[in-house]
Amino acid sequence: MNADRIIAALQLPPGCLVGQRVAKKLLVEHGATTAADKRRINEGLEDLYWVAALKPNTVGVPALSDEVREYLEISVLRASLRDAADATRLVALIHRAIPYPVLLLTEQSEREMRPELSAAHKRRSQRETGMTVLDGEVVAVEWDEERWPRLGDAFTLSKQPRASLYVLFQGWIDALLALQVAHVTGTFRLADSAAHATLRRTALKDLVLLNAEAAGLRANAAKEKQMSRRVKLNLELKRVEVALAAARANL
The helix (H) or strand (E) run that includes residue 143 is none
Give residue 36's pLDDT.
93
The pLDDT > 90 percentage for the chain reads 85
Contact between residue 57 and residue 16 where contact means Cβ atoms under 8 Å apart? no
50 - beta bridge partners? 20, 77
The helix (H) or strand (E) run that includes residue 85 is none
Residue 23 has pLDDT above 90, yes or no: yes
Residue 30 has pLDDT above 90, yes or no: no
* Cα separations in angstroms, 68 against 46, 98, 166: 34, 17, 12
Give residue 31's pLDDT.
82
- Confidence band, pLDDT 50/70/90 cuts, at residue 60: very high
Q: Average per-residue pLDDT in the chain?
A: 93
Tens digit of each residue's pLDDT (9 = 90 or more) over 104-144: 999 986 555 689 999 999 999 988 888 899 999 999 999 99
Tens digit of each residue's pLDDT (9 = 90 or more) over 61-75: 999 999 999 999 999
Tens digit of each residue's pLDDT (9 = 90 or more) over 199-245: 999 999 999 999 999 999 999 999 999 999 999 999 999 999 999 99
Is the pTM higher than 0.85? The answer reads yes
Angle at 103 between CA 101 and CA 104, to 5 degrees: 120
- Confidence band, pLDDT 50/70/90 cuts, at residue 189: very high
Domain boundaries, the chain: 3-188, 200-249
Burial of 190 (0-12, 13-18, 19+ CB in 10 A): middle
Residue 190 has pLDDT above 90, yes or no: yes
3-class SS of residue 192: coil
